[in-house]
Amino acid sequence: MAAISRDLSLSKKPSHFPSSFHSSRSHFYKSNFHHIPMKPVPTTRALKIMNSFSDSSEYQPNQPKATATERPIPTTATTTTDVSSVSIYKAFSLKGMTALVTGATKGIGHAIVEELAGLGAIVHMTARKEAEIQKCLKDWEEKGYTVTGSVCDASVSSDRKKLIQSISIAFDGKLDILVNNAGTAIFKETSNFTDEDHAKIFATNFDSGYYLSILAYPLLKASGSGSIVFISSVAGVVALPFVSNYASSKGAINQVTKNFACEWAKDNIRVNSVAPWSIKTPIIERKMQEEGYIEGVISRTPMRRFGAPSEISPIVAFLCLPGASYITGQVICVDGGFSVNGNFPAHD
């Protein structure tokens, strides 16, 4: 669907954005994205790491040569047991990298945008509601993040195609990071699910990320070191009640993560999934109003609490970092121990 964009840019546009992007702060324009060209401010965690190292602390050991059967090792990656082959600063910085995050005005997606932008990435985010995008962009402008946004329903094929076309123009045919976060859930007994329920769940949770990854593949390949992260769920790892369709869509994500990782490794594209448990997002906060829900979650979670979006976003960011350059095809559960709890007592 087309987006009517409110341009929040300053007077000078970065060179990587199309000339069609307007620079006035006081008017509405029809354009691809909302742009906030400001210098990203690293998060506190990143600053502590970065400020502890300078360029003078970098080591330059000889890189091992690839054999005839091996592909060259990316220069940004740690290639030997000596971790000093890249500086800590470079290993834990996304400075100058481009990222696309779907479903990013709330919850986990919102936190991911802030994490990536805080580490220096130039982020484009999407959501379905214009007003929510506007609110987020204003907040991120005040924080100094380099973020743009556009209306996109990731479950709709035409929206996905328009989005990737716009991304290709804005980022000069390259994309470093794709985070497939858009998702939804319907809670019902399996026998009560309708055809419409099933179609909606799979279109939003699975099809969106599956097809966006395929569409973005040329851009990720062109970057030389692309990274895809799917937001999955422990529901795709263990059996949970009332979410058989949701769980199936997440299980499909976990499997395609492995397939994409193996198929696209030759193109230096890494693919991983992060599988949260009960995180305090709008959907879960509504569930928390139901009698017994909080107690049920806590009693089955060894850490005895719900998670927060800010505990998911750093894992996503890490998987996108140069320091994670040898990690691919993994499904990482971030669940307070829930998925490994066999028969520990329900209560302390």
Q: Which residues are catalytic?
A: 246
CB atoms within 10 A of CB 9: 23
Residue 331 structure tokens:
């499904």
Could you give the C-alpha distances from 294 to 87, 239, 286, 344, 348, in angstroms and in order? 44, 18, 11, 18, 16
Nearest Cα neighbor of 316 from 88, 111, 86 is 111
Residue type, 198: H
Could you give the C-alpha distances from 229 to 181, 239, 279, in angstroms and in order? 8, 23, 18
C-beta separation of 7 from 22 below 8 A: yes
- Rounded to an integer, what distance in angstroms lies between the CA atom of residue 118 and that of residue 100? 14
- Rounded to an integer, what distance in angstroms lies between the CA atom of residue 153 and that of residue 102? 9
